[in-house]
């Protein structure tokens, strides 16, 4: 398999001690059992070449893989279009991990070329862009998905199972509390954090999650934001975003309410990069999920107190004592690569995965909500209908 990666930041490489580097580590782990002939990383800065080499070596040494990568500098998606024939004939799959506002332009080029593509969430900031990508995908019959890795988290799978089994009764409401350290907008994503907000960047996970859990249809929302801290530090975006979102049970017509509170101004000394919890309350029961405190607490003189999540993406020993890259973050990416391999071999078609993956069609739901939330934010919390939901196919 020949893989193109668009972007060279934290989620790709784990640069600047920001983590394992989920995308490169996942591909390296996948390559230990499956043939990966070529991995090319492209981004704008020529300085990334040394980073890609350094992080590839680190990953290979850690999990005893033999991944080979190279780096190419491009100025924009137009460079990819100019190299259309080279890209089209060279790569079996692509993974897009760039700032939110650039997703559409890169995905459009790749889908027009027929390159199977995985896009790190959100799909796009606007539904119009997402619908155009959906139409291109259908015209070119190209497999594509969005990297909503929470669909692979066991705690979310048990929630889905309980809901489907009727253990909670009729779902009444859904509450989310999500916050991140202020280092994310101020340091890690400083170059583009003013072009997004915490709800669009991370709250979208919990919109997609609720749709995955229930299959319900979002109807309307109202959103309010608070600001001050980030603007004082030169970042023009919301400190926090608070959303009330109304859903409709597509089978009964009943209305369900969700409340999503998100911020990215937690102190950098907080015990985890992300504090994430949610509740699902029904007529017969409730589930409370703490996805920060998973029972692993690390205390040291140098690192302070940390609550760790080894289930997302981590290097852990197998039964033979060999380090392997594991976790639901890895499984999300490995599943995409496996799907591509199945399609390339002729053992599966794109239609075999329809409704079973976070594909473009199902990701229209979260994108439509993001657009409505952004409209409500600019309208000082006015109720905004989730538009064009007739474009979304419902079960």
CATH number at residue 43: 3.40.50.720
Instruction: Please give the tally of structural domains in the chain.
Output: 2
Question: Does residue 107 sit in the same domain as residue 138?
Answer: yes
321 in any annotated domain: no
Question: Does residue 183 sit in the same domain as residue 210?
Answer: yes
Question: Does residue 165 sit in the same domain as residue 261?
Answer: yes
Question: Does residue 273 sit in the same domain as residue 184?
Answer: yes
253 in any annotated domain: yes
Question: Does residue 200 sit in the same domain as residue 97?
Answer: no
186 in any annotated domain: yes
Question: Does residue 299 sit in the same domain as residue 331?
Answer: no
Q: 132 is in which domain, residue-wise?
A: 2-149+327-358
Q: Residue 387 has what pLDDT?
A: 83
pTM comes to: 0.94
Q: Contact, 145 vs 119, CB < 8 A?
A: yes
CATH number at residue 255: 3.30.360.10
319 in any annotated domain: no
Tokens 């975006």, residue? 237
pLDDT per residue of the chain (395 residues) written in tens, 0 to 9: 999 999 999 999 987 666 788 999 999 999 999 999 999 999 988 999 999 999 999 999 999 999 999 999 887 767 766 665 566 678 999 999 999 999 999 999 999 999 999 999 999 999 999 999 999 999 999 999 999 999 999 999 999 999 999 999 999 999 999 999 999 999 999 999 999 999 999 999 999 999 999 999 999 999 999 999 999 999 999 999 999 999 999 999 999 999 999 999 999 999 999 999 999 999 999 999 999 999 899 999 988 999 889 899 999 999 999 999 999 999 999 999 999 999 999 999 999 999 899 999 999 999 999 999 999 999 999 999 998 666 665 44
- Using CA atoms, how far residue 40 sits from 94, 98, 264, 349, in Å, is 9, 15, 32, 25
69 in any annotated domain: yes
Question: Does residue 102 sit in the same domain as residue 234?
Answer: no
Cα gap 348→153, rounded to integer Å = 25
Burial class (CB in 10 A: 0-12, 13-18, 19+), 47: exposed
Cα gap 136→360, rounded to integer Å = 11
Question: Does residue 286 sit in the same domain as residue 160?
Answer: yes
Question: Does residue 49 sit in the same domain as residue 112?
Answer: yes
298 in any annotated domain: yes
Q: Residue 81 has what pLDDT?
A: 65
Question: Does residue 102 sit in the same domain as residue 180?
Answer: no
Distance in Å from the first CA to the final CA of the chain: 34
Q: Contact, 214 vs 282, CB < 8 A?
A: no
Q: Residue 395 has what pLDDT?
A: 46
65 in any annotated domain: yes
Burial class (CB in 10 A: 0-12, 13-18, 19+), 301: exposed
Q: Residue 16 has what pLDDT?
A: 65
Question: Does residue 275 sit in the same domain as residue 251?
Answer: yes
70 in any annotated domain: yes
Cα gap 148→120, rounded to integer Å = 7
Question: Does residue 121 sit in the same domain as residue 225?
Answer: no
């Amino acid at each position: 398999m020949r893989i193109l990666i668009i972007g060279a930041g934290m989620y790709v490489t784990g640069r600047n001690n920001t983590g394992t580097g989920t995308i490169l580590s996942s591909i390296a782990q996948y390559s230990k059992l499956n043939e990966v002939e070529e991995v090319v990383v492209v981004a704008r800065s020529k300085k990334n070449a040394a980073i890609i080499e350094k992080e590839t070596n680190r990953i290979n040494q850690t999990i005893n893989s033999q991944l080979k990568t190279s780096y190419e500098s491009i100025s924009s998606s137009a460079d990819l279009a100019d190299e259309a024939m080279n890209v089209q004939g060279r790569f079996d799959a692509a993974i897009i991990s760039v700032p939110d506002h650039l997703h559409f332009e890169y995905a459009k080029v790749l889908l027009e070329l027929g390159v199977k593509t995985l896009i790190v969430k959100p799909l796009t900031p606007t539904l119009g862009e997402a619908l155009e990508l959906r139409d291109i995908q259908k015209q070119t019959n190209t497999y594509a998905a969005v990297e909503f890795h929470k669909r692979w988290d066991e705690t979310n799978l048990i929630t889905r199972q309980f809901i489907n089994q009727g253990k909670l009764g009729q779902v009444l409401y859904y509450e989310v509390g999500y916050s991140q350290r202020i280092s994310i907008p101020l340091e890690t994503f400083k170059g583009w954090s003013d072009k997004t907000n915490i709800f669009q960047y991370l709250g979208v996970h919990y919109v997609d999650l609720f749709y995955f859990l229930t299959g319900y249809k979002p109807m309307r929302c109202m959103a309010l934001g608070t600001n001050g801290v980030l603007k004082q530090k030169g970042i023009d975006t919301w400190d926090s975003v608070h959303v009330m979102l109304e859903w409709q049970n597509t089978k009964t017509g009943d209305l369900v309410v969700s409340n999503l509170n998100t911020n990215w101004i937690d102190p950098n000394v907080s015990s985890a990069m992300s504090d994430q919890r949610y509740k699902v309350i029904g007529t017969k029961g409730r589930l409370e999920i703490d996805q920060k405190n998973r029972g692993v607490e690390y205390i040291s003189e140098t690192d302070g107190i940390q609550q760790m999540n080894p289930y997302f993406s981590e290097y852990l020993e197998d039964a033979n004592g060999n380090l392997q890259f594991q976790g639901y973050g890895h499984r999300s990416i490995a599943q995409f690569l496996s799907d591509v391999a199945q399609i390339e071999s002729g053992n599966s078609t794109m239609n075999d995965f329809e409704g079973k993956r976070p594909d473009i069609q199902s990701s229209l739901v979260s994108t439509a909500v993001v657009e409505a939330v952004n409209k409500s934010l600019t309208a000082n919390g006015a109720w905004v209908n989730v538009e064009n939901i007739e474009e979304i196919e419902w079960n």
